């Protein structure tokens, strides 16, 4: 009888595992929004792309994979690599960075850094985000990777990691150069990565601010992205212009929990690019909504057992909000399903992956994400184990 029970339990476990495997194997965009195209939505430019920032769901596409020069939108990757260096502890926002002759000699948009002066890294980053400062880009690149050439190699390596197959960087500024190109789709990918850094939004919302140099001299910075002032919900973006690339813009806006990313390349005028991105935002907010299923840091109902820990279980959460996109006129019908480890061994560090979660709609998993430990759990001491004898489980 005991053997039968054990065999039944094993069989049930196998069935559950197979069912979960099949669920995971069909992870796909089961939610199928109506993707607007050029003939339905008039958007100026050679290429345009609109996505839901959280899920990457495509809401509009027009020539989004054509390789084109993107001018100063190259600086999105420059900012991304710099912020990632900060995250890794390799650079502090308060660190003073020395300005080289090469950095000080950059033309185009700049804040007129003097060679030999030192500037706070956070201030240089802000000048790139707000004023598209080429001199600051070079100073940051030399600090992060040792040289501009090394930084450009790192830019291309990161682009490859992100799946940006139609992008090639040749400098960190976007100044005209042969063989430099990207696509509207690829720009949206790297821009969505930048948006994961809260410090970006602190700088991106600045409209007008003086950059104060070490000698007290001031350079007035005006945000090149006019939509942060004139479009409700827009709180970030990066412009670009050269005679070859024409007028470009990647921007983000958020309303009622729905954050979108819009990219336009090759508009005929500055006004045209802002109108084009505004039209894309209007389409997104007018037709779609976002439902938060589990917030970043919010505890799920489930817990994971801990072997040999000071506590018998650990709370479960997510690093980023888990959302579901749906048409504004319909119920989302999305729900969460979890696949948790049966047991983890102490010590457990906050942020350790303890399982997988899935956004499921109509019985099909359309997204998966990591479930992480919500707190640290240290190893239990002998005294902890003695005290636990006879105590209720937690």
Number of H helices, E strands in the chain: 11, 17
CATH topology of domain 47-288: Beta-lactamase (3.40.710)
d(CA 248, CA 278): 13
pLDDT in the model for residue 1: 40
Whether the predicted pLDDT of 185 surpasses 90: yes
pLDDT in tens, 52-64: 999 999 999 999 9
Whole-structure pTM value: 0.85
Task: Kindly report, residue by residue over 133-182, the tens digit of the pLDDT.
Answer: 999 999 999 999 999 999 999 999 999 999 999 999 999 999 999 999 99
Q: Measured between alpha carbons, how far is 53 from 372 in angstroms, rounded to an integer?
A: 22
Summarised one tens digit per residue, pLDDT across range 189-215 is 999 999 999 999 999 999 999 999 999
Length of the chain: 394
Mean pLDDT value across residues 351-360: 96
CA distance 86 to 172: 18
**DSSP-assigned states of every residue in 186-245:** HHHHHHHHHTT-HHHHHHHT--EEEEEPTTS-EEEEE-S-THHHHSTTEEEEEEEEETTT
CATH number for the region 295-388 comes to 2.60.410.10
Q: Where are the domains of the chain?
A: 47-288, 295-388
Residue 366: pLDDT band with limits 50, 70, 90: confident
Q: State residue 382's pLDDT score.
A: 80
Q: Residue 14: pLDDT above 90?
A: no
Can you tell me the distance from the alpha carbon of 5 to that of 8, in angstroms, rounded to the nearest whole number? 5
Query: Quick one: tokens of 176?
Result: 């005209």
Judged by average pLDDT, the poorest of 20-24, 159-163, 258-262, 316-320 is 20-24
Active site amino acids: 72, 75, 132
Place of tokens 């589990």: 294
pLDDT at 7: 43
Q: How far apart are CA 275 and CA 247, in angstroms?
A: 12
Please determine, for residue 251, whether its predicted confidence score (pLDDT) is greater than 90. yes
Of the chain, the percentage scoring pLDDT greater than 90 comes to: 80
- CB under 8 Å to 54, separation ≥6 — which residues? 259, 290, 320, 321, 323, 325
SS (H, E, C) 97-133: EECCHHHHCCCCCCCCCCCCCEEEHHHHHHHHHHHCC
Q: Which two tokens stand for residue 394?
A: 């937690």
Predicted confidence at residue 383, as pLDDT, reads 78
- The average pLDDT across 18-42 equals 55
- At 268, list the tokens: 């005929």
> Mean of the per-residue pLDDT values for the chain?
90
Rounded to an integer, the average pLDDT of 109-131 is 98
- Residue 18 above 50 pLDDT? no
Judge whether residue 347 has pLDDT over 90: yes
> If you average pLDDT over residues 93-104, what whole number do you get?
98
Q: Which two tokens stand for residue 205?
A: 């919302």
């Amino acid at each position: 009888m005991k053997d039968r029970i054990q065999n039944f339990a094993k069989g049930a476990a196998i069935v559950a595992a197979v069912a979960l495997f099949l669920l995971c194997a069909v992870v796909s965009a089961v939610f199928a929004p109506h993707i607007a195209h050029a003939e339905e939505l008039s958007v100026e430019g050679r290429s345009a792309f609109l996505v839901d920032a959280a899920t990457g769901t495509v809401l509009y596409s027009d020539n989004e994979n054509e390789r084109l020069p993107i001018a100063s939108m190259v600086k999105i990757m420059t900012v991304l690599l710099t912020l990632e260096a900060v995250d890794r502890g390799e650079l502090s926002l308060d660190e003073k960075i020395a300005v080289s002759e090469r950095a000080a000699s950059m033309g185009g948009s700049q804040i007129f850094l003097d060679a030999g002066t030192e500037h706070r890294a956070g201030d240089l980053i802000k000048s790139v985000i707000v004023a598209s400062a080429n001199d600051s880009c070079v100073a940051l690149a030399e600090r992060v990777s040792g040289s501009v050439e090394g930084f450009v190699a790192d830019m291309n390596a990161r682009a490859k990691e992100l799946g940006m197959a139609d992008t090639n960087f040749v400098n960190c500024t976007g100044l005209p150069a042969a063989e430099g190109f990207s696509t509207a789709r690829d720009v949206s990918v790297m821009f969505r990565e930048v948006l994961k850094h809260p410090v970006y939004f602190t700088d991106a919302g600045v409209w007008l601010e003086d950059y104060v140099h070490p000698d007290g001299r001031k350079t007035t910075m005006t945000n090149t992205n006019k939509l942060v002032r004139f479009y409700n919900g827009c709180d970030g973006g990066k412009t670009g212009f050269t005679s070859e690339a024409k007028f470009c813009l990647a921007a983000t806006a958020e309303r009622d929990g729905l954050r979108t990313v819009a990219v336009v390349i090759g508009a005929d005028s500055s006004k045209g690019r802002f109108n084009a991105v505004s039209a894309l935002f209007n389409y997104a907010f007018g037709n779609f909504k976002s439902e938060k299923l589990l917030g970043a840091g919010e505890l799920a109902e489930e817990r994971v057992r801990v072997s040999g820990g000071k506590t018998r279980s650990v709370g479960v959460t997510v690093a980023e909000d888990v959302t579901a996109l749906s048409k504004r006129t319909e119920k989302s019908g999305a729900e969460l399903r979890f696949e948790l480890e049966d047991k983890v061994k102490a010590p457990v560090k906050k942020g350790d992956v303890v399982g997988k979660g899935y956004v499921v709609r109509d019985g099909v998993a359309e997204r998966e994400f990591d479930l992480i430990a919500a707190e640290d759990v240290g190893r239990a001491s002998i005294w902890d184990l003695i005290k636990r004898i006879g105590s209720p489980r937690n």
